[in-house]
Amino acid sequence: MALNQSGWRPTTPEAGSNAAPTFTGNKALMLEEALIFEIGSTDTTGVEVAAPVTSASRLGALARTAPIGLPGLSEPETIRHYTRLSRQNYAIDLGLFPLGSCTMKHNPRLNEKMARLPGFADVHPLQPVDTVQGALGVINELAFWLIDLTGMHGVAMSPKAGAHGELCGMLCIKAALEKRGEGHRKVVLVPESAHGTNPATAAFAGFTVEDIPATAGGRVDTEALKARLGPDVAAVMITNPNTCGLFERDLKAISDAVHAAGGYVYCDGANFNAIVGRVRPGDLGIDAMHINLHKTFSTPHGGGGPGSGPTVLSEALAPFGPLPFTARMKDGHIALIEEETAGDDHPDTFGRMTAFHGQMGMFTRALTYILSHGADGLRQVAEDAVLNANYVLRSLEDTLDAPFAFAGPCMHEAIFSDEGFPEGFSTIDVAKALIDEGFHPMTMYFPLVVHGAMLIEPTETESKAALDQFIGALRSVAERAKAGDASLKTAPHFAPRSRLDETLAARKPKLVWREPVVASEAAE
């Protein structure tokens, strides 16, 4: 698109509107924003620094010979640039974020207030332990809650995301097998209904991954899994509730069979939001499970924001867990167990996963969330999350194909397919039209076992009114898709940019900005 003189892109009103295009390209409060390179010039700067007292440069051949080419902007220009860009984004504070598997829920402001207390926000990981007893106390108390809520034996607090927690659990399993002299067990069984990070983690940890099929009802095929157990199987990795939004009812029987065959059970606990306070994974025979603090226990995430994936461990695996960990001593003081050589009480640890102690800010937020809900409040979180998802499922199953609805209620996620859409229409058209309706799209084409999957997780923090509006929007869009409404193919129409070629953008990203050649110069 051509830039006009002032650097702005002209905009054309929606078809059918009799408004003239605006000079600026802005559409009222929807402000166009050019790249920072297009609005800033290299000879401007927001700061004025006194010229340095000249001294001989010691850079030698490394001294820069050409300008660096960074755009310069004044402070107000900089603030406006980034504020304008931020307004083109979607956020949980703007509206419902139905991304299945991500648990995008409200982040209570109280969490933020606590995390910003200087005693937590300003501590340094290398401070002497005596000066950070409060912060260590938070880690220790949160660890107790996680152990209590899951019915497990121990917890590794340092993993920094869900997938990192998976790695922690699998490294514990590897260390336990080696200690038993059974390091030859290399196969990890992963059901089709597991999250994609599971096979990736198993492979990364040096195991060989084998798929276990799902039943038509969307759950693990227990018989197929049992039949595959044997002396080469190290572990199974099961997501529960699984990515079809269903509870794996046979998990206890599966764990018993896996243990009898000498293997371990890893449970992907990212969906703990649906069962917290209702089910203790330890009672299901699980050996290791990560918890996404940034999902179940709120705390902001997305856009690469911080995560935290503490991994709870069974009695069998706890001795192999990573350092460091906290321990409350008899005198009430909290010790940080950091050194592999510190004593003989943890000789089997597989080592360390992070430089320091984990995501302190996330610990503070998660503990605040837990304490402000209390045990009964946490149970209600799970109940309301499941209720909301079932409300979405039952409200839309007459319009959208719901492949597992026959099997009974779902957990915290409702799943639909693109079955019944006319030729040429798919889930992406529905998702893009939802943007025009003011919603972030749902998770698309995942899980893979459902054709054109739409995975919707409303979470417990949405009101019935908000759900009704979303359901109304999705119903309207789905009906347009089923009627073959061609305008869906180019949606979104009201977003700052219309349908993009996402494949091209992902495969051939343009990461370098080049100054456009001005036509008059090019002609010279």
Ligand X SMILES: *Cc1c(COP(=O)(O)O)cnc(C)c1O
- The residue sitting closest to ligand X, measured at its beta carbon, is 162
Stretch that binds ligand X, among 183-191, 267-275, 438-446, 453-461 (CB under 6 A): 267-275
Among 114, 157, 161, 434, binds ligand X (CB under 6 A): 161
Nearer to ligand X, 237 or 477 (CB): 237
Among 107, 222, 273, 292, binds ligand X (CB under 6 A): 292
- The Cα-based distances of 212 to 223, 372, 413 in angstroms read 10, 40, 22
Smallest separation, CB 268 to ligand X (Å): 5
- Using CB under 6 A as the criterion, what x/- string covers residues 236-255 for binding ligand X? ---x---x------------
Q: How much helix, strand and coil, in percent to the nearest 5, is found in the chain?
A: 35, 10, 50
Stretch that binds ligand X, among 174-182, 183-191, 265-273, 491-499 (CB under 6 A): 265-273
Torsion of CA 338, 339, 343, 348, to 10 degrees: 90
Cβ proximity of 237 and 198 under 8 Å:
yes
Smallest separation, CB 197 to ligand X (Å): 4
Among 96, 139, 149, 163, binds ligand X (CB under 6 A): 163
Helices (H), 301-420: 360-396
Q: Tell which residue, 239, 278, 275, 247, has the closest CA to residue 404.
A: 247
> Both tokens of residue 111?
């969490």
Binding status of residue 197 toward ligand X by CB under 6 A: yes
Q: Say how many C-beta atoms besides its own lie within 10 A of residue 17's C-beta.
A: 8
- Give the three-state DSSP class for 165: helix
- Give the three-state DSSP class for 209: strand
Among 285, 307, 358, 458, binds ligand X (CB under 6 A): 307
> Both tokens of residue 8?
């702005």
The C-alpha atoms of residue 242 and residue 265 are separated, in whole angstroms, by 15
Among 245, 281, 309, 324, binds ligand X (CB under 6 A): 309
Smallest separation, CB 212 to ligand X (Å): 16
Q: Please, which of residues 200-239 interact with ligand X by CB under 6 A?
A: 239
The C-alpha atoms of residue 240 and residue 243 are separated, in whole angstroms, by 8
The count of chain residues that interact with ligand X, using the rule CB under 6 A, is 14
- The Cα-based distances of 275 to 190, 246, 257, 410, 510 in angstroms read 21, 11, 23, 12, 43
Nearer to ligand X, 382 or 488 (CB): 382
Smallest separation, CB 301 to ligand X (Å): 7
Host H or E run for residue 443 = strand 443-444
Stretch that binds ligand X, among 10-18, 141-149, 266-274, 434-442 (CB under 6 A): 266-274
Q: Say how many C-beta atoms besides its own lie within 10 A of residue 47's C-beta.
A: 7
Cβ proximity of 239 and 193 under 8 Å:
yes
Smallest separation, CB 101 to ligand X (Å): 4
Smallest separation, CB 297 to ligand X (Å): 13
Torsion of CA 216, 219, 221, 222, to 10 degrees: -150
Smallest separation, CB 161 to ligand X (Å): 4
- Using CB under 6 A as the criterion, what x/- string covers residues 118-157 for binding ligand X? ----------------------------------------
Smallest separation, CB 490 to ligand X (Å): 31
Among 271, 273, 298, 395, binds ligand X (CB under 6 A): 271
Nearer to ligand X, 357 or 412 (CB): 412
The C-alpha atoms of residue 454 and residue 441 are separated, in whole angstroms, by 9
Q: Please, which of residues 317-356 interact with ligand X by CB under 6 A?
A: none
Radius of gyration of the chain (CA): 27
Q: By CB under 6 A, name the binding residues for ligand X.
A: 101, 161-163, 195, 197, 239, 243, 268, 270-271, 292, 307, 309
